[in-house]
Structure 1
Amino acid sequence: MTHLAEPEDAPEAFQSAWNAHDMAAFGRLFHDDAAFVNRFGHYVRGVDEIIDLHQPIHETIYRDSTLENELIDATPIGPPVAIVHFWSRLRTGPAHPAGAHDVDTLILAVLACRDGAWRIQALENVTLTNPRTGEPVLRR
């Protein structure tokens, strides 16, 4: 699913494109001039750069990874813009240098509807960590 009928569709569509390792479908979730900040603080702008950031890792270390996303909330902030928060659990497979493990993140996405289509305008992905140790933390 890469069509977003409503902002609340973003977590499932993001998950579906990721799990299919289909970066063209992933790119269709974003407006052409979108901004993306990955969980390591790497900032890119533009759908081509977003795809270029993700394509190599989906061919290598994340080729057997999956995501499980869970909508937290979707808040309209004016027509036609909404802020969506969702939990994301990345499950890496044996292809990852650290082996199979889970990483939980919190994603904030700003969606805008242009020409009748909801797409992501900006997205930031934050890894859950213990602020005292920096160690990754998994949600319940």
Structure 2
Amino acid sequence: MKQPQDAPLAFQEAWNSHDMRSLGALFHEDATFVNRFGHYVRGIDEIIELHAPIHATIYSDSTLDNELIDAVPVGDDVAVIHFWSRLSAGAAHPAGPHAVDTLILAVLARQAEEWRIKALENVTLTNPRSGEPVLRGD
């Protein structure tokens, strides 16, 4: 990634290819990742291990569609970004085809002119009264 704003598309492309090594390459070696269920892992190997089983099964035919909200520089080599992410699960998911919207916050740091994700947290949009998933625009 040449700039922080590249992260949403790079994440989307890695997810949609279901290539977890490509996904892992977006992160710093000691990066942290919190998935939409609150599962926390640290390190590229753990990030890959978190995603590989679901991409081999329930998310094997899923796609992401990401949209940058903002990118805020914290310094010359650090930025915070937010982006919307719509996960479209396919027939491989036990619940069948459906969509889930999440909001992702990521901290990126630049080393040797390459931006990589240092920390990422993914939050599912839900109705606070019922806990039911909500799609943006509903």
Q: TM-score, normalised by structure 1?
A: 0.97
Identify the residue that residue 105 of structure 1 maps to in structure 2.
Answer: 102
Identify the residue that residue 88 of structure 1 maps to in structure 2.
Answer: 85
Unmatched segments (≥5 aa) in structure 2: none
Query: Could you give the per-residue CA deviations for residues 99-136 of structure 1, whole angstroms, max 9, x where no partner exists?
Result: 10000000000000012210000000000000011000
Query: Could you give the per-residue CA deviations for residues 67-98 of structure 1, whole angstroms, max 9, x where no partner exists?
Result: 00000000001120000100000000000011
Identify the residue that residue 3 of structure 2 maps to in structure 1.
Answer: 6
Unmatched segments (≥5 aa) in structure 1: none
CA distance in 2, matches of 1:71, 1:100: 25
CA distance in 1, matches of 2:35, 2:109: 20
Matched, 1:77 2:74: yes
- Alignment length, in residue pairs? 137
Find 1:134's aligned residue among 123, 131, 136. Answer: 131
In percent, how many aligned pairs have the same letter? 72
Aligned to 1:25, the other structure's residue is in SS state helix
- TM alignment of 1:39-58, pairs within 5 A: 39-58=36-55
Query: Could you give the per-residue CA deviations for residues 8-56 of structure 1, whole angstroms, max 9, x where no partner exists?
Result: 0000000000000010110000000000000000000000000000000
- TM alignment of 1:12-51, pairs within 5 A: 12-51=9-48
Q: TM-score, normalised by structure 2?
A: 0.98
CA distance in 2, matches of 1:108, 1:8: 12
